[in-house]
Amino acid sequence: MDLKLFGEVFVTLLVIVDPPGMMPIFLALTGPLSARDRNRAAWQAVALALGVIVVFAVAGQTLLAYLHVDLPALQAAGGLLLILVALELLTGKADDPTQQATSNIALVPLGTPLLAGPGAIVATMLFVQQADRALDYGAIAAAIVAVMLTVWVVLRFSGGIVKILRPGGIEVLTRIAGLLLAAIAVQLIADAIAAFVTQYANAT
């Protein structure tokens, strides 16, 4: 295995996914849930993110070309989805997590587009395009799995913070997480618009 490539992929994806930054959002979305449901949401989100990244790594270019979808469009769609979630968190109009299926929280927005977002997808696709031998693909695959395991560990053991924060702290954390999500969403959309402008400017 190419350890240098493994390190490059691992560090790149770890920085993009940002497990410490994910923690407040994860706690805001799952804080009122039971410990069992919170743990289940953690592994479901990581499993979905792993699956999405692997699918795009293997067939991302082909899939996007078949659908006639550019990467900036995918990025903008992720941003719009995050804005909807952020508005619910900021206004307190989110569904009661005790009545919401855990799988819903885990799949959207945790699994995608937060963990398996445009940044992680594009980075993985670029690494796969640059690989030219089986050992390179093995290093990329191992790095992806290692990153997802790291994320799972962080989310899995973040539940202890809920006991410290109490309901009042969770309420404050929810508003902060909403603000962070809104900022992430706006940045995604802004980057997508800039990419579209650059793309069409070059085309003309």
Per-residue pLDDT tens, the chain, 204 aa: give them: 789 999 999 999 998 998 888 888 898 888 778 888 999 999 999 999 999 999 999 998 899 889 998 888 888 888 888 888 888 888 876 545 444 556 678 888 889 888 998 889 989 998 998 898 999 999 999 999 999 999 999 999 887 777 777 777 778 888 888 888 888 889 989 999 999 999 888 877
Measured CA to CA in angstroms, residue 135 lies from 10, 77, 114, 131 at distances of 15, 34, 29, 9
Are 1 and 135 within 8 A, CB to CB?
A: yes
* Other CB atoms within 10 A of residue 169 CB: 14
Q: From the centroid of its chain, how far is CA 165?
A: 24
Residues 6 or more apart from 165 whose CB is under 8 A from it? Answer: 27, 31, 173
Question: Long-range pairs for 155-163 at CB < 8 Å and ≥24 separation?
Answer: 155/19, 155/22, 155/23, 155/26, 155/42, 155/45, 155/46, 156/39, 156/42, 156/43, 158/23, 158/26, 158/27, 159/35, 159/38, 159/39, 161/23, 161/27, 162/27, 162/31, 162/38
Counting the structural domains of the chain, the total is: 1
DSSP code for 1: -
Which domain does 151 fall in, by range? 3-203
What pLDDT was estimated at residue 21?
82
What pLDDT was estimated at residue 98?
46
Q: Hey, what amino acid is at 17?
A: V
pLDDT tens-digit series, residues 39-72: 999 999 999 999 999 999 999 889 988 999 888 8
What pLDDT was estimated at residue 97?
46
